[in-house]
Structure 1
Amino acid sequence: MNNAQVLPHYHHIINGEIVKPSSGNYIDVHCPATGNLIAKTADGNATDVDLAVSAARQALKNTDWKNISVTARSKLLYQIGNTVLANAQELAILEVQASGGTIKRVMGLDILAIADLFFTLAESIKSYPFIENLSPKILPEQVHTMVVKEPVGVCGIITAWNFPLLLLSWKIAPAIAAGNTVVVKASELTPTSTFRLIELVNQFLPAGVLNLVSGTGINVGDPLVKHPKVNKISFTGSTQTGRNIQIAAAATLKRVTLELGGKGAAIVMPDANIDLVAHGALFGIMMNSGQACESGSRLIVHANIHDELIAKMKTLAEKIVVGNPLDPATGMGPIVSEQQFSRIETYLKSAQEQGAHIVTGGKRKIIAGFENGYFLEPTIISNCKNDMEHACEEIFGPVVSIIKFTELDEAIGIANDSIYGLSAGIWTEDVIGAQAVARQLEAGSVWINDWHMMRTDAPFGGMKQSGYGREMSHNSLNSYTELKSISTAFERDPSKKSTYHLVHTF
């Protein structure tokens, strides 16, 4: 049998049904660990987007969804969270095969965090102020006013390829929790787990509430952003694409949430626990092969411990198991694609040309049985300056740049000297003093003596050109609601209404 005939094909999901792309075309999906073709996904276009948006718009009018109570939505979110856990292995394998993320990480972190987020929001909406009654005021007269938070409408969701399931949940969970309808644009690089999760979630939703259109940014993302009947766009991805989305969305004044690039800076104080920093800093950059926007890619180290820390990190980095992402022993899988691998290599070449020193790594790693995979050695670069290309631009790979400092104010200045403001951190034994330093760091999340320390009841998002808006926690609901004030007057005699005297003579 021809291999092309047995390849799974992933279509669109529109109005609760699996729908083939109107173009009849599909995009190849490759496994980054092997380079093998593993699936084909729909190559959507504006026609498919319009069909999905129409379904979502109609679902907003469906009384089964429009009138659903907060209690019922809470139960629904619990159902979804439990469904994620019940189908964890299938979802994880699909994700690992397409993204290259390790099975250890997806099963040990992502799946649990996804379920926990749905559970967190299931509880949060019970006390969320969807309706707030204001205290009475006597001027100009007594009225009753309530402030209502209503669904923003049809939400266009554009996810990234690095954490397909996790990033999807960060967006659809609050959108559904607030009563919106959704059109998801999945990454054409990693669409498989997204398709399956949306297929599973649709078991519990009225038709059209949650739709999926697969395809490229040009053919699907752009029409979704520009569609006049889409009320909101939530995007995770590169800063440049975020800028383009903001410009395009301005034409229809869409609400926009952007979670963009980062260049996470961690300050290592001279009193820091060297062993903890070495393990933690490598965790901060090597998890998912550095393909995380909040990765700790800049390590700003005090001169007193600089050499000792680098030596310790070098030893640990060279022990990280790089290889088959489906092997539970693997700590770091492949880079997602040949294009991304080449981009990282360009930065490594630039680092050396600008005078930085590669302490360890920096080369392609050949794994037996996975010779065509895009594996890169864990890489540590020293002798870095903050204005070097590799030190100030987002590499999105397993590469940490180490910068030396002597005074704390200098370190804070280096950390903040970036267009990005997504993550930052401090390594020190003085956790009280670290709180004060944290307040001076320009980042949406600041972690003390750890990294990737995200929890589903705390907001996550960026400052500066790392974007705006927050995901996770009850704060994420604010981005998926519109405020409306409704006031009721009680005085029926027009002559007793003081404001009417401004116009009328009684």
Structure 2
Amino acid sequence: MRNPATGAVLAVAENADLADIDRAVRVADAAFRSGVWSAMPIHERAALIHRFADGIEHRMEDLYRLETANNGRPITETKAQISRLSEWYRYNASLLLADRDAVVPMRGDYHSYTSRMPLGVVAILASFNHPMMIASKALAPALATGNSVVLKPSEQTPLTAMLLADIAHEAGIPAGVLNVVNGLGPTAGAALTEHELVRKVTFTGGTEPGRSIAVATARRFARSTLELGGKSPVLVFPDTPVDVAARGAAFAGFIGAGQTCIAGSRLIVHRDIYEPFVESLADIARGIRIGDPAEASTQVGPVISQRARQRILSCVQQGVEDGARLVTGGATAQVEGFEDGYFVQPTVLADVTNDMAVAREEIFGPVVVVIPFGDEDEAVAIANDSPFALGSAIWTRDVARAHRVAHRLEAGMVWVNDHHRLDPSSPWGGLKDSGVGREGGWESFHEFTHVRAVTIRTATDDVDWYGGQATGRLN
């Protein structure tokens, strides 16, 4: 893999073949079946997960510096995000202790209740943009519920995943419970997805790979949680001060160099404030400090690769050819001392219509498009007219409008006067081409378990269905 800020080789990792994947899965399966983790008393398992979280906090500086070098995200952003990493493990350890079985009100002389059991081997396929956070959103509940895990980080950003495995081992997570394999998505990732012993796959990435995973897991009735593409709408109403909305939109669209599925890349702005908003946003974009991601003053770093930069700039050019107005950006950014880095200027395209490719396709770079609207109904219609439905945002000072519009938007998440915020207690995921399933909260925790129903007959007489007159109820 390469350092995206310099283009230089950062490290070399093994590329797992089919035999490597098979061995990792079978080790995980053996650990699961041994009961060393899956049958461990829940208070002991929760304590080890808390110890794992302690280890993450102790190695935090190593983690965020390594992640910044590996994916090019500014260190200030990286630190702000993964400084919260341990919360996911502590929250899910707490859910483990708080979870209760349900008593089922069955008719007759029966006591019926439910209990939960882990699935088995879980495969986690993480992406390059938020390697630790994306892995942990699945790893924390998978471990807490007693599963064994095979984690395959992105081939572009594997370094922190390997360090995470070391921290887990030092914390006392038993051997075979957490396994990290490096390899390419189309080979190692596909092998994991299709392995007969893998009972659940979680994946964050593009829609088409996600669609293939859904098909592969469905063939053997395994589960999948898929957080896929996005083109999140940001609705800006005229009761919001222009400068406030523009700053919020810049945060929504340019954080992480726009390399996030939830990026607010489709700005839908009321006509009464449209031109002042575009001008204000462009001024902000021009003033963003682009540079060395290891420097605390840097606000936007490079994109992940040269190939990604070429694709992003091609999308911008296509937008201009389709009639969009290039207000600012649209070119490579030159950073002194980092001439071979993969930097892209924060870009604003105005006068976009919702049928243009730049408004419908995920660009995955620091590019936002601005679309005008006239009234609330039109704004909602434009927002919902998309193959994606991951996140959305509303900027308004009208509380009634905020609730009203939030309930009309087709999206897994809606922010009001903000963007990008997440918490381990809040479900995260999308609809339509943005995927299926949720990460976070009870919704995610229980998705790593099977539910079983236990029914106990409490009547004093014997069962003798065939020896006399049959009575009672059957299914």
- In the TM superposition, what is the alpha-carbon distance from 1:498 to its structure 2 partner? 11
- In the TM superposition, what is the alpha-carbon distance from 1:465 to its structure 2 partner? 1.2
Q: Deviations over 1:139-177 (max 9, x none)?
A: 3x3111111111011001111111101101011001001
**Does 1:148 find its partner at 2:119?**
no
CA distance in 2, matches of 1:180, 1:495: 38
Partner of 1:133: 103
Cα 1:333–1:57 shift into 2, 3 Å: same
- In the TM superposition, what is the alpha-carbon distance from 1:124 to its structure 2 partner? 2.1
2:150 pairs with 175, 179, 183, which one? 183
Partner of 2:92: 121
- Secondary structure in structure 2 of the residue aligned to 1:194: helix
Deviates more, 1:281-290 or 1:245-254: 245-254
- Secondary structure in structure 2 of the residue aligned to 1:39: coil
1:263 pairs with 222, 226, 231, which one? 231
CA distance in 2, matches of 1:462, 1:275: 30
Partner of 1:170: 137
1:83 pairs with 55, 64, 70, which one? 55
Partner of 1:4: none
CA distance in 2, matches of 1:501, 1:420: 59
CA distance in 1, matches of 2:54, 2:432: 36
User: 2:154 is aligned with what amino acid?
Assistant: S
Within 5 Å, give how 1:240-389 maps onto structure 2. 240-389=208-357
Partner of 1:39: 11
Equivalent pair of 2:125/2:151 in contact (CA under 8 Å): yes
Equivalent pair of 2:238/2:273 in contact (CA under 8 Å): yes
Cα 1:280–1:60 shift into 2, 3 Å: same
CA distance in 1, matches of 2:99, 2:400: 32
- In the TM superposition, what is the alpha-carbon distance from 1:501 to its structure 2 partner? 4.2
User: 1:261 is aligned with what amino acid?
Assistant: G
Partner of 2:175: 207
Partner of 1:51: 23
Deviates more, 1:79-88 or 1:385-394: 79-88
Q: Deviations over 1:454-502 (max 9, x none)?
A: 1221110001110111102222112101111111113353467699844
2:78 pairs with 93, 99, 106, which one? 106
**Does 1:71 find its partner at 2:71?**
no
**Does 1:393 find its partner at 2:361?**
yes
**Does 1:455 find its partner at 2:426?**
no
- In the TM superposition, what is the alpha-carbon distance from 1:62 to its structure 2 partner? 2.4
Equivalent pair of 1:495/1:501 in contact (CA under 8 Å): no
TM-score computed with the length of structure 1 as normaliser:
0.90
Equivalent pair of 2:39/2:146 in contact (CA under 8 Å): no
User: 2:157 is aligned with what amino acid?
Assistant: T
Cα 1:313–1:498 shift into 2, 3 Å: farther
CA distance in 2, matches of 1:500, 1:69: 45
Equivalent pair of 1:494/1:500 in contact (CA under 8 Å): no
- Secondary structure in structure 2 of the residue aligned to 1:214: coil
Alignment coverage as a number of residue pairs: 471
TM-score computed with the length of structure 2 as normaliser:
0.96
User: 2:306 is aligned with what amino acid?
Assistant: E
Cα 1:500–1:441 shift into 2, 3 Å: farther
Deviates more, 1:324-333 or 1:270-279: 270-279
Partner of 2:404: 436
Equivalent pair of 2:38/2:118 in contact (CA under 8 Å): no
CA distance in 2, matches of 1:499, 1:368: 91
Deviates more, 1:296-305 or 1:89-98: 89-98
Partner of 2:165: 198
Q: Deviations over 1:80-138 (max 9, x none)?
A: 22221111111111111110111101112x22221111122222222123x22324x4x
Cα 1:495–1:83 shift into 2, 3 Å: closer
Stretches of structure 2 that go unaligned for 5 or more consecutive residues are none
Equivalent pair of 2:113/2:454 in contact (CA under 8 Å): yes
CA distance in 2, matches of 1:386, 1:116: 39
What is the RMSD computed on CA atoms of the aligned residues?
Answer: 1.7
User: 1:196 is aligned with what amino acid?
Assistant: L
